[in-house]
Chains A and B, each alone.
Chain A
Amino acid sequence: MTGSIRGIAMALVSAGLLVGTAALSWYPYEAEPRPDAVVRFSWRTRGEVIENCRRPGEAELAQMPAHLRQEVICQQGTVAPYRLRIGVGGMTLLDSLAPGSGGRSDRPMYLLREVLVAAGSHRVVVELRRDDRPDGTDDSTQVEAEGGSRRARSLRQRAIPRRMTLDTIVTLGAREVVLVTYDSEKRRLVVVHQ
């Protein structure tokens, strides 16, 4: 190979390699080939806290140091169980208990679920409610009657209502996303578009 031919070949090969690099660096990947849309359900909510509380008797109070005396004594509570039902376009997507996170299920409930739907209008139904016992009672009755601990009262104020529902029609264009989430200020489920 003579010097000039070798030089030309070297330049061509180098240019080819570099152009190949640039092409692979900007590869048009079809991320969403179908013109579907997405209904996204995502929130972070706190369930109501259940505590077993009692009023100590006078004899018990007398035995306590003065600074530890309380009207109500509560054991550390748990978070009330909730049931979540999600339906999109007449299909039930989810119907299950929604436990709190953490080892003792006493942390906030998180949800992140996406449903691929065809572009157009769809009925979205969400129900999140306390999973009360079949006899209609629940563990929080005692708490509410007694007032509960200060922490429990604070958590109850931040907790979601006992029952929340959303029944709405969402209209989506191709590759649009709509978010169903919990608005903590309005204390209800809302639909968020872009």
Chain B
Amino acid sequence: MRPLTTRLAAALRRVFAPLDAAANRLYGGRFNPLYQSGTIAAALLVILLVTGVYLLLFYRIGAPWASVQRITDQVWLGRWIRGLHRYAADLAVVATAVHALRMFAQRRSWGRRVLPWVSGLVALGIVLVSGWTGYVLIWDSFGRLLAVEGARLFDLVPLFSEPISRAFVGERPMPAPFFFLNLFAHIAIPLGMGIVLWLHVSRVARPTLLPPRPLLWWGTAALTALALLWPVGMAEAASAFRLPQVVPLDLFYAFWLPAARGVPAGWSAAGLVLVTVALLLVPRWTTPPKGSRPAPSAVDEHTCTGCTQCALDCPYEAISMVPRTANPVGRSPLVGRVDPDRCVSCGICAGSCSPMGVGPPGRTGRDQLDSVRAFTKQHRPGPGDVVVIACSLGIGAQPGRLGDAPLHPVACAGSVHTSVIELLLRSGAGGVLVLACPERDCWNREGPRWLEQRLYRQREAELYERVDRRRVRLALVSSGQAREARAELAALRAAVAALAVAGAETAPDVLRECETVPEETP
């Protein structure tokens, strides 16, 4: 299955690339709803909670359809609140599904990301089941269809003394306990969502739970406007003695219903089980083979100064500071320690360490400098050249689309040590353009954020003051924004051309600037 999931993920990335690019142009990378799908889903849950409490005040299990009709027709703001509740529920499914697809496309579903993946699936299941019970609560023709299909599935489980489907034949009126159970499930199951969300973000540092405020408020306003302009109506009341000709279906929750009604319940159950098992097996199917799994970061204790910056920057809380035990005299009392079970090998710590003492094997700051030396030897960038450093998970994956500029691809722009940029300039390049993914699109979460702060805001390990910032440019572009990347390149080339020609040093040695203080002899 691994090759299949790899191809599927690549195909999905190709689908997302133009959509991301279009949404970035329209909304900007920070407010791109595709990037914010996870936080949008969380915000929608809050809206569902608030509107749900209001609706609960007027709902009656003894007269479900009549009470919903009363909410719709008579209760103050009832129709709009119902609309908001319904549309928020619909978009919650969309947002959760988009979020899951993005994670799958970016292969963020294995290793230490298994827990977020599985908890995300549980969250999606909770959303779907809550929607199901919510529609049954209305007890209109659609709700009855859902209830009957659910009963057919339950009847396959040999636990109940009497087939549940018989409850809907019309022998007697629907008992209030049925609606009480549905209401209980509709409220209790989403309450479990809090625990699921906590699990979902428990393995990341600084989880972002809500979208940026402008997106949050504008999104809520747009949803409210939709509820006002396109208010939800009432379908006919459920009846056991009348077949509904046309049922208003909510395709977000009942996309499966037309197919399920046409086949035996066993087939539907088999399909449900198959899809669930396949989704749960995604982490297994997307795990790279043993030999090709990226190795976790490691700390060189001899070099580590105990500054704690790598522990602060790690987006996965994989680095902790522990008391130094080896040769502690004259050294910092603390030293970084990487937990390999939590490390995703993003390499962001490599960019955070001034003395270049941490990072995944082959990608530490020192390794990056070696790589740049080889690069400059091969490309020999001149004073008019702009070297492009691009994230190979994003725009750097297709170097041909960036024109003739010398391209130095990196595993993650967030892992680039600022000395790499300095070395490129001191080797003769006229400028350095760093193309990173938009922050919310970073496969490693916080790469572009830390990189921007290292370049412009003195965050450790910062780009030294002596480096001419006019020759350095950081652009956040998604893999589909080649046009924007070329424009950034052209702009930097023009800026560099306007500057005096920089002279290349004969033998720049950036590493010397970053050497640690030699150990004192005890």
Residues of A at the B interface (CB closer than 8 Å) are 1, 6, 9-10, 13-15, 18-19, 21-22, 24-33, 36-38, 40, 42-44, 101, 107-108, 110, 112, 175-179, 181, 192-194
Contacting pair B163 A112 (CB below 8 A) = yes
Q: Which residue of A lies closest to B22 (CB)?
A: A13
A194 touches which of B87, B141, B242, B257 (Cβ 8 Å): B242
Least CB distance, A124 to chain B, in whole angstroms: 16
Least CB distance, A10 to chain B, in whole angstroms: 5
Least CB distance, B140 to chain A, in whole angstroms: 12
Residues of chain A lying within 8 A (CB to CB) of residue B161: 101, 107
The interface on chain B, measured as residues whose beta carbon lies within 8 A of the other chain's beta carbons, has a size of 42
Residues of chain A lying within 8 A (CB to CB) of residue B225: 18
Least CB distance, B27 to chain A, in whole angstroms: 6
8 more contacts with CB within 8 A, not counting A21-B91, A30-B246, A31-B247, are A6-B25, A18-B222, A25-B250, A27-B248, A37-B243, A112-B165, A112-B169, A192-B171
Q: Which residue of B lies closest to A107 (CB)?
A: B161
Q: A29 with B249: in contact, given A44-B166, A112-B169 (CB under 8 Å)?
A: yes
Residues of chain A lying within 8 A (CB to CB) of residue B251: 24-25, 27
Least CB distance, B146 to chain A, in whole angstroms: 12
Majority SS at the chain A contact face: mixed
Contacting pair A21 B90 (CB below 8 A) = yes
The 9 closest A-B pairs by CB, nearest first: A194-B241, A29-B249, A175-B243, A42-B169, A32-B243, A22-B230, A31-B247, A24-B251, A18-B226
B170 touches which of A31, A44, A179 (Cβ 8 Å): A179
A31 touches which of B27, B226, B230, B244 (Cβ 8 Å): B244
Q: Is B520 in contact with chain A by the CB < 8 A criterion?
A: no
A176 touches which of B163, B169, B233, B241 (Cβ 8 Å): B241
Contacting pair A29 B242 (CB below 8 A) = no
Q: Is B299 in contact with chain A by the CB < 8 A criterion?
A: no
Residues of chain B lying within 8 A (CB to CB) of residue A108: 162
Least CB distance, B343 to chain A, in whole angstroms: 38
Q: Is B312 in contact with chain A by the CB < 8 A criterion?
A: no
Bound complex: CA A25 to CA B86 (Å): 8
Q: A24 with B244: in contact, given A14-B222, A29-B257 (CB under 8 Å)?
A: no
Q: A178 with B241: in contact, given A6-B26, A9-B26, A29-B258 (CB under 8 Å)?
A: yes
1/0 per residue, CB under 8 A from A, across B477-509: the answer is 000000000000000000000000000000000
Q: Which residue of A lies closest to B165 (CB)?
A: A112
Least CB distance, A84 to chain B, in whole angstroms: 16
Residues of chain B from 24 to 83 with CB closer than 8 A to chain A in the complex:
25-27
Residues of chain A lying within 8 A (CB to CB) of residue B86: 25
Residues of chain B from 221 to 235 with CB closer than 8 A to chain A in the complex:
222-223, 225-226, 230, 232-233
Contacting pair A44 B162 (CB below 8 A) = yes
Q: Is B292 in contact with chain A by the CB < 8 A criterion?
A: no
Q: A10 with B27: in contact, given A31-B145, A192-B170 (CB under 8 Å)?
A: yes
Residues of chain B lying within 8 A (CB to CB) of residue A179: 169-171, 240-241
Q: Which residue of B lies closest to A28 (CB)?
A: B246
A177 touches which of B87, B230, B241 (Cβ 8 Å): B241
1/0 per residue, CB under 8 A from A, across B383-417: the answer is 00000000000000000000000000000000000
Q: Which residue of A lies closest to B145 (CB)?
A: A31
Q: List 20 A-B contacts (CB under 8 A).
A: A18-B87, A18-B222, A22-B230, A25-B252, A26-B250, A27-B249, A28-B249, A29-B246, A29-B258, A31-B261, A38-B243, A40-B169, A43-B171, A101-B162, A107-B161, A110-B166, A112-B163, A177-B242, A178-B241, A179-B241
Residues of chain B from 140 to 187 with CB closer than 8 A to chain A in the complex:
141, 145, 161-163, 165-166, 169-171
A26 touches which of B27, B169, B232, B258 (Cβ 8 Å): B232
Bound complex: CA A158 to CA B90 (Å): 49
Residues of chain B lying within 8 A (CB to CB) of residue A32: 243-245
Contacting pair B245 A33 (CB below 8 A) = yes
Least CB distance, A41 to chain B, in whole angstroms: 9
Bound complex: CA A31 to CA B163 (Å): 23
Contacting pair B257 A21 (CB below 8 A) = no
Contacting pair B244 A19 (CB below 8 A) = no
Least CB distance, A106 to chain B, in whole angstroms: 12
Residues of chain B lying within 8 A (CB to CB) of residue A177: 170, 240-243
Bound complex: CA A30 to CA B245 (Å): 6
Residues of chain B lying within 8 A (CB to CB) of residue A25: 86-87, 90, 232, 250-252
Bound complex: CA A112 to CA B151 (Å): 12
Residues of chain B from 261 to 280 with CB closer than 8 A to chain A in the complex:
261
Q: Which residue of B lies closest to A192 (CB)?
A: B170
Q: Which residue of B lies closest to A111 (CB)?
A: B166
Q: Is B376 in contact with chain A by the CB < 8 A criterion?
A: no
B162 touches which of A6, A14, A26, A110 (Cβ 8 Å): A110
Bound complex: CA A18 to CA B221 (Å): 12
Q: Is B6 in contact with chain A by the CB < 8 A criterion?
A: no
Bound complex: CA A133 to CA B241 (Å): 39
Residues of chain A lying within 8 A (CB to CB) of residue B165: 112
